[in-house]
Amino acid sequence: MQAGDRLEDNWALRFATLEADRLGKPLIIHHGLGPSDPLSNDRSHTYILEGAAELAARAADAGYHYQCWLRPTPDDPGGAIDALAARAALIVTDDLPTAGVNARTARVAERVPCRVVRVESWCIVPAATFAKSEYAARTIRPKLAKLRDLSLTPVDDRPPRKSVSAALARSIDLPLLDVANADIPATVARCAIDHAVPASHIAGGYSHAAERLDAFVADGLRGYDERRKEPSDDDGSSRLSPYLHYGHIAAAEVARAVLRAGPKAQAEAFLDEMLTWRELAFNFCTHDRHYDKLRSLPDWVVASMRKHTHDTRETTYTLAQLEAGETHDALWNAGQRELAATGVMHNAVRMLWGKSVLLWTNTYATALRHLLHLNNKYALDGFDPNSYANILWCFGKFDRPFAERPVWGTIRPMSLARAREKFDADAYIARWT
pLDDT tens digits, one per residue of 8-67 = 999 999 999 999 999 999 999 999 999 888 889 999 999 999 999 999 999 999 999 999
Which domain-ending residue is among 269, 287, 305?
Answer: 287
Which domain-ending residue is among 259, 287, 315?
Answer: 287
At residue 273, does pLDDT exceed 90? no
pLDDT of residue 88: 96
Which domain-ending residue is among 231, 257, 287?
Answer: 287
Judge whether 146 lies within some domain: no
For residue range 343-383, list pLDDT tens digits in order: 999 988 999 999 999 999 999 999 999 999 999 999 999 99
Judge whether 256 lies within some domain: yes
Residues 309 and 277 in one domain: no
Residues 375 and 410 in one domain: yes
CATH number at residue 23: 3.40.50.620
Based on C-alpha coordinates, what's the Rg of the chain? 22
Q: What angle do CA 142, 146, 151 make, to 5 degrees?
A: 125
Q: Cα-Cα-Cα-Cα dihedral of 66, 70, 76, 80, to 10°?
A: 30
Residues 3 and 117 in one domain: yes
Judge whether 143 lies within some domain: no
pLDDT of residue 229: 86
Q: What share of the chain is helix, strand, coil (3-state, %, to 5)?
A: 50, 5, 40
At residue 138, does pLDDT exceed 90? yes
Q: Strand, helix or coil at 249? A: coil
Q: Which domain holds residue 15?
A: 1-121
Alpha carbons 22 and 45: distance in angstroms, whole number: 35
Judge whether 199 lies within some domain: no
Half-sphere exposure of 119 (CA within 13 A, CB side): 20
pLDDT of residue 418: 87
Half-sphere exposure of 263 (CA within 13 A, CB side): 6
CATH number at residue 230: 1.25.40.80
Alpha carbons 147 and 78: distance in angstroms, whole number: 42
pLDDT of residue 235: 78
Residues 257 and 308 in one domain: no
The answer to whether 266 and 222 have CB atoms below 8 angstroms apart is: yes
pLDDT of residue 378: 97
Residues 325 and 399 in one domain: yes
The answer to whether 32 and 6 have CB atoms below 8 angstroms apart is: no
The stretch 226-252 carries a mean pLDDT of 90
Number of structural domains (the chain) is 3
pLDDT of residue 111: 96
The answer to whether 323 and 336 have CB atoms below 8 angstroms apart is: yes
Judge whether 173 lies within some domain: no
Number of neighbours of residue 42 by Cβ within 10 angstroms = 19
Could you tell me which residue, 178 or 237, shows the higher pLDDT?
178
Q: H helices within 97-205, ranges in order?
A: 101-111, 137-151, 166-171, 184-189
Residues 235 and 310 in one domain: no
Judge whether 239 lies within some domain: yes
DSSP-derived letter for residue 32 is E
Judge whether 406 lies within some domain: yes
Q: Parallel, antiparallel, or unpaired: how do β-strands 90-94 and 115-119 relate?
A: parallel
Residues 313 and 331 in one domain: yes
Q: What would the DSSP string read from start to end of 193-231? A: SBTTSPPPSS--SHHHHHHHHHHIIIIITTTHHHHTT-T
Nearest CA to 383 out of 131, 55, 196, 103 is that of 103
The answer to whether 197 and 43 have CB atoms below 8 angstroms apart is: yes
Residues 306 and 411 in one domain: yes
Residues 64 and 47 in one domain: yes
Nearest CA to 89 out of 7, 19, 29 is that of 19
Residues 303 and 397 in one domain: yes
Residues 376 and 252 in one domain: no
Residues 421 and 333 in one domain: yes
The stretch 249-268 carries a mean pLDDT of 92
Judge whether 331 lies within some domain: yes
